[in-house]
Chain A
Amino acid sequence: MSDLMKMSVPGKPEYVATVRMAAASVASHAGFDIEAIEDIKVAVSEACNNTVVHAGEANLEEYNVEFVREEEGLTITVSDAGPGYDTDSYEEPNISELNSGGLGIFIIRALMDEVDITSGPGLGTNIRMTKYLAKDIA
C-alpha cells in the first residue's frame, strides 16, 4: 500500500516554508521520530531551494513536490521544468576554504537514506530522496 500526495508550488522563496510544513506533517503521520522529521524537513527545503534559485533564474512559475508514503518509509520528489544543469559539474563544498557552493545538495545527501538527482541542460531537474523508517532491533 502507498499513499501519494502532490503539490504544485509557486517558484518563490516564501513558499518553501509551506512545503517544509507539509513535509513535517506527512513524515509525522508516517511514524518518523522527531530527529528524522527534522532531517526530512531540511532535505525537502534544500531541494526546493535548489529549484527556486536555479530554475528561478529562468523565471520558472511553479514546480512539483510529490510525497509517496509506503510501509518502509517516505519518498519525496522535487521536480521542475527549469533549465537543468550538468550533474557531473557538482563539487562538494569546502568549508575550510569558506566555499558554501553546493552545500544544499551535500546536506540532502547527508540526511536522507537514498538520493537520486537527474538533470541536464534543457531537461529540468528531478531530486528524488527516500528516508526509511527505523526498524526495531530485536
Chain B
Amino acid sequence: MALSINANNNEKAGAWEFKLVGEIDLSNAHYFKQQMEAALTEKCQNISVDLANLNYIDSTGLGVIISVYGTIKKDGHCIKLLNPRDNVKKLLSISGLDKILC
C-alpha cells in the first residue's frame, strides 16, 4: 500500500498537523522525510502526527521521526504521535519513542 501524507498548518495551535495513511517503509521513508522537512522549512514549529490510519511503519520511518525530532528539539519544539494502532504502538514501545513523543 502506498503512503499518503496530509500536512496542515494549524496557526491557532502553532503546530504542523500531519495525517499519515498507508504504510511507511524503506521505499517511501525518504518521501515522508521530504514532506516534514519542507513544512519545517516553511515554518519551524511543533508537530503532531496522526497515526490512526497508518497500518505499518518500520525502522526507517521511525528513523525519520527521530531525525526530525532531533532537528526541532534544538529550537525548543516537539513532536506528538497520536492514535497509533496496536502494531505501531508496539514498535514505538520497543524503540523507546513512546517515552519521548507520545
Whether B91 pairs with A107 at a CB distance below 8 angstroms is yes
When distances are taken between beta carbons in the complex, the residues of chain B under 8 Å from A17 are 1, 23, 25, 27
Stretch of A40-48, A57-65, A83-91, A125-133 that contacts chain B:
A40-48
When distances are taken between beta carbons in the complex, the residues of chain A under 8 Å from B90 are 35, 38
Stretch of A25-33, A74-82, A94-102, A114-122 that contacts chain B:
A94-102
20 A–B contact pairs at CB < 8 A? A13-B25, A13-B27, A14-B27, A16-B25, A17-B1, A20-B56, A35-B86, A38-B90, A46-B58, A48-B26, A93-B95, A95-B66, A95-B95, A98-B73, A99-B66, A103-B62, A104-B58, A104-B59, A107-B95, A111-B94
Residue in B26, B27, B67, B94 whose CB lies within 8 Å of A106? B94
Within 8 A of B (CB), among A1-26: 13-14, 16-17, 20
> How many Å lie between the Cα of A42 and that of B89 in the bound state?
13
Residue B48 at the chain A interface, CB threshold 8 Å = no
Interface residues of B, count at CB 8 A: 26
- By beta carbon, the residue of chain B nearest A12 is B27
When distances are taken between beta carbons in the complex, the residues of chain A under 8 Å from B87 are 35, 38, 42
Whether B26 pairs with A100 at a CB distance below 8 angstroms is no
The secondary structure that dominates the A interface is: helix
Residue A55 at the chain B interface, CB threshold 8 Å = no
Residue B97 at the chain A interface, CB threshold 8 Å = yes
When distances are taken between beta carbons in the complex, the residues of chain B under 8 Å from A107 are 58-59, 91, 94-95
When distances are taken between beta carbons in the complex, the residues of chain B under 8 Å from A95 are 66, 95-97, 99-100
Residue in A13, A35, A98, A99 whose CB lies within 8 Å of B26? A13
When distances are taken between beta carbons in the complex, the residues of chain B under 8 Å from A48 are 26
Whether B59 pairs with A103 at a CB distance below 8 angstroms is yes
Whether B91 pairs with A53 at a CB distance below 8 angstroms is no
> How many Å lie between the Cα of A93 and that of B95 in the bound state?
8
Residue B69 at the chain A interface, CB threshold 8 Å = yes
Residue B14 at the chain A interface, CB threshold 8 Å = no
A132 to chain B, nearest CB (A): 18
Within 8 A of A (CB), among B57-102: 58-60, 62-63, 66-67, 69-70, 73, 86-87, 90-91, 94-97, 99-100
